[in-house]
Structure 1
Amino acid sequence: MSYLVTITPAQLSFAVQQDETILAAALRNGIDFPHRCRQGVCTSCVCKLKSGEVRYNEPQPLTELDKQQQFTYCCLAYPKTDLVLHHPFIRG
């Protein structure tokens, strides 16, 4: 099973496999996706969740403020549904 992830405003879409992070799938698809640490620390891969649901392995990386802001740490996030994410620096 895979999920379709769309990044706005670039309107890039790619498939993410069930046990693959959003970042790993983006890189596999040749998308120039900002990242550094791959541990949820540097925040360069953080997107805003516009629609859909994601899951994280424990321990849950999000703070309450992150949840309120709809932040998604793409290096750690696995889609539960098709997603629309916003990242201002990703270009098509």
Structure 2
Amino acid sequence: MEKGRAEAKASRFGHRRFLSSWSLRGSANETVPGGADKAKQTGQLIKQQQQQQQQQKKKKKKKKKKKRKEEKEKEKENEDEKRGSS
């Protein structure tokens, strides 16, 4: 059903981009030989990339937090030294 809709849309707008995007998804995969496997692999790859991005974000956030904490400690030490010397 969705593939039919995509074909209609493609013919209406005069290009085949819709068809190629549908060949990687859902019910259209049964009509393409090996399409379901390809879609599964593509989905897994996308998931894996998203997980890696999330992990990188977490690492970056953790690093930033640690750096901020160290800077605050240094400021505190500097203030204590100034108070002690005056």
Asked if these proteins are the same fold (TM beyond 0.5), I'd say no
Normalising by the residue count of structure 1, what TM-score does the alignment of the two structures yield?
A: 0.24
- Structure richer in helix, relative to its length: 2
Quick check: which has more Rg, 1 or 2? 2
More strand by share: 1
